[in-house]
Amino acid sequence: MLLNDAGEVLVAQRIDMPSDAWQMPQGGIDTDETPEAAARREMQEEIGTGAASLLAESRRWYRYDLPAELVPRLWQGRYRGQEQKWFAFRFTGTDADIAIDNDYAEFSRWKWTSMASLPDLIVPFKRQLYADLVAEFGHLAAPNKKDRRHG
């Protein structure tokens, strides 16, 4: 979960799933990679930037399964469901740093949105997962108050 200074979350539309659904970037953990390192690598691969500072790690692993009717149609039957460790990061770059048209392109569009709207934007089978993430990370959605002192 990548939050900007306004407390909004980055979401994107997948290239391989023609729908109105939006999702947060996510990805797998490579062998001998920590969950946080995987989150940072996936951020770099999927949105072209690693300009972010860690805010929080989920207290638990989250799980979802693909509905049975989608298993044969999506990803050749692989990735039937996932167990995920989530991280919240504060974006420290500018919108110009976000590049979804890279060698790892998975998304066609991206935008910032309110955290509360996340469950309404995702595909139905992930709604509970996103609602749980909003409950856990919701306190982080407050705008980031920059230090305005001068040195």
The pTM for the full model equals 0.86
- What was the pLDDT predicted at 128? 93
- What was the pLDDT predicted at 110? 96
43 by DSSP, 3-state: which?
A: helix
Q: What count of other Cβ atoms lies within 10 Å of the Cβ of residue 86? A: 21
Distance of CA 84 to the CA centre of its chain: 11
- What was the pLDDT predicted at 144? 82
Name the helix (H) or strand (E) containing 46: helix 35-47
User: pLDDT under 50 in the chain at which residues?
Assistant: 75, 147-151
- What was the pLDDT predicted at 124? 87
- What was the pLDDT predicted at 68? 65
- Options 3.60.15.10, 3.90.1010.10, 3.90.79.10, 1.10.10.10; CATH for 2-139 is 3.90.79.10
The domain locations on the chain are 2-139
Q: What count of other Cβ atoms lies within 10 Å of the Cβ of residue 116? A: 12
- What was the pLDDT predicted at 48? 94
Angle at 105 between CA 110 and CA 116, to 5 degrees: 30
Closest to 126 measured CA to CA, from 69, 66, 78, 74: 66
